[in-house]
Amino acid sequence: MILKIPKNLNIENRPFINGSFKSLKTNKFLKRKSPSLDYSLPKLFLCRENEVNYAVNSAKNSFQDGLWKNKSSKEKKKIFLKVATKMKKKIQELSMLDCLETGRAINNFKRDSIPKAIEVIEYFAESIDKIYDNMTPLDLGSMNLITRKPLGVVVGITSWNDPLVPAMWKVCPAILMGNSIVMKPSELSSFSLLRLAEFFFEAGLPKGVLNVITGDGITAENLIQHKDTNGIYFTGSTKTGKKISQIASKNRIKKISLECGGKSSFIVSRNCTNLNKAAKTLAKNIFYNQGQICSAPSRLIIDKKISSLFFEKLFKETEKYIPKNPLDSNSEIGGLISKKHYQNVKKIFNIGLKEKNSVKIFNKKRWKKNYSFPPVIFYNLKNNSKLLQEEIFGPILSCIEYSDINEAIKIANNSQYGLASSIWSNNFEEIHYVSNLVEAGIIHINSYGEDGINIPFGGIKNSGFGRDKSIFAFQEYTYIKSIVYKP
Ligand code: NAD
């Protein structure tokens, strides 16, 4: 069944500043259509200096008046849990907003992404009264405290592929630690976060603590370079991440955290006793959301000895990920975010064909009205192939074979990225060896992507630095203050 877009769907497109939606006088905006459906989206305002100043000043005032910062953990928790409850009632509406803007299957949002965002809010709310500061060993007559303090006004900038989850990874620890935040979601997916800002305010968050402004890279740069912003928390491409690290401290030094791109490896050893599960897990994680997931395992590094058997299984599993209408109640796979992104994926696909690699394309009965791309598997690649080095962010899996496990590790580490990785083996020594030597922020053993909200997430090398999720995230939004007492 194809779900209908409700006629009375109320899409709020004005920036949320100082506790309410603000109408703008600007004539700068983007006109957009849903990438997957014949549906015109409301225009997206491009906030500029005036709106950026307004949002940062509101955040600064709310930080200085201390109304939020000084609330008890119990009160903070209560407000957050109210937001989570409201979201549970609004899953359908939030999913529809995200589906219309991104072209990703509505089922992904209903069953996975929005419930995950709710889980993030609940987790951080429940954690805030369970974290402790430190004290040094007591020498007679002295007492040294090591405490964490909020930074003040911080900025969150996020990508389009999962509009609410990474945004909540930032908003929750930031404001629970007492900061005020200005969020700038992607210009391609802003509506659900605007709605959520309103939920927080209705639940009791004082005005100015959470502001959401719409806009593009120029808007983000204005925020980054603003004299009153003290921390920059980014999720997006490596290209933009590099730019941010160059400009963030141009005028004065700021704390930054960068969650960037990846080319994550999936190593399957001859010692793996469950190839069925490995094939199923790989297909699910690389082709879910058309490969538009930062940590998608886009490089298969497969033991030569078992490769034919494994590909047989993998090809079968891949058949399950053919794109359909994103509003189809039986679909899990929608399309790519835009025509531009479709063209980028096509370009690298053509390079793969030109390199004369072995390839399997899963083109059967694809829904062609959106910018969907068929799942593609390139195999028997040489390690210098562009397909193994560049993040494609599409449904293309690049595969290379190895003869011994040291070679597999070398291939895995021969990458500018270091976000996630996986080893499939039932030999304990091999698992231990590989998981210690592969360079990545997370390594999954005989699984993939099953890291819950209590596991830190983030990369190394060109995948960035800083950690989202878990109680370690609280550290990102604070500075350490040492209080030294000597009588
Ligand atoms: P992008 O870098 O184009 O945009 C991300 C955000 O940065 C957007 O809000 C955009 O408006 C803003 N931006 C654009 N130009 C800017 C500039 N000059 N200065 C500051 N901000 C600027 O990325 P995208 O296309 O939205 O997202 C896809 C990328 O995000 C992929 O590379 C993916 O791997 C990465 N990603 C990483 C994670 C992670 O946790 N590591 C999660 C999701 C996505």
Question: Which atom of ligand 1 sits closest to the CA of residue 216?
Answer: 11
What is the pLDDT, as a whole number, of residue 363?
80
Across the chain, mean pLDDT equals 96
Residue among 355, 366, 354, 360 at smallest CA distance from 378:
360
Collapsing DSSP states into helix, strand and coil, what is residue 467? coil
Mean pLDDT of 168-172: 98
DSSP state of 113: I
What is the pLDDT, as a whole number, of residue 336?
95
Measure 389 CA to ligand 1 centroid, in angstroms: 19
Characterize the bridge pairing of strands 420-424 and 464-465.
Answer: unpaired
Q: Is the Cβ–Cβ distance between 359 and 377 less than 8 Å?
A: yes
Q: Is the Cβ–Cβ distance between 25 and 45 less than 8 Å?
A: no
Q: Is the Cβ–Cβ distance between 185 and 212 less than 8 Å?
A: yes
Q: 272 catalytic, yes or no?
A: no
* Ligand 1 lined by 237 (C-beta under 6 Å): yes
For the ranges 38-42, 220-224, 240-244, the lowest mean pLDDT is seen at 38-42
Question: Which atom of ligand 1 sits closest to the CA of residue 468?
Answer: 40
- The backbone torsions φ and ψ at residue 31, rounded to the nearest 5 degrees and listed phi first, read -95, 130
CB atoms within 10 A of CB 5: 13
Ligand 1 atom 26, closest CA: 159
Mutating to test ligand 1, I would choose from 240, 392, 451 the residue with most ligand atoms within 8 A of its C-beta, which is: 240
* Ligand 1 lined by 392 (C-beta under 6 Å): no
For the ranges 91-100, 138-147, 384-393, the lowest mean pLDDT is seen at 138-147
Measure 158 CA to ligand 1 centroid, in angstroms: 6
Question: Which atom of ligand 1 sits closest to the CA of residue 169?
Answer: 40
Q: 75 catalytic, yes or no?
A: no
For the ranges 30-39, 95-104, 273-282, the lowest mean pLDDT is seen at 30-39
Measure 160 CA to ligand 1 centroid, in angstroms: 8
* Ligand 1 lined by 261 (C-beta under 6 Å): yes
CB atoms within 10 A of CB 449: 17
Characterize the bridge pairing of strands 299-303 and 16-17.
Answer: unpaired
Mean pLDDT of 271-283: 98
Ligand 1 atom 31, closest CA: 237
- Catalytic site residue from 47, 272, 294, 399: 294
Mean pLDDT of 129-145: 91
Question: Which atom of ligand 1 sits closest to the CA of residue 187?
Answer: 11
- Catalytic site residue from 259, 391, 401, 476: 259
* Ligand 1 lined by 391 (C-beta under 6 Å): yes
For the ranges 14-23, 299-308, 365-374, 428-437, the lowest mean pLDDT is seen at 365-374
* Ligand 1 lined by 243 (C-beta under 6 Å): yes
Mean pLDDT of 361-373: 79
* Ligand 1 lined by 186 (C-beta under 6 Å): yes
Query: Considering the chain, what percentage of its residues have pLDDT values greater than 90?
Result: 92
Residue among 395, 399, 398, 396 at smallest CA distance from 323:
395
- What would the pLDDT profile of 350-366 be if each residue is shown by its tens digit? 999 999 899 999 986 66
What is the pLDDT, as a whole number, of residue 364?
67
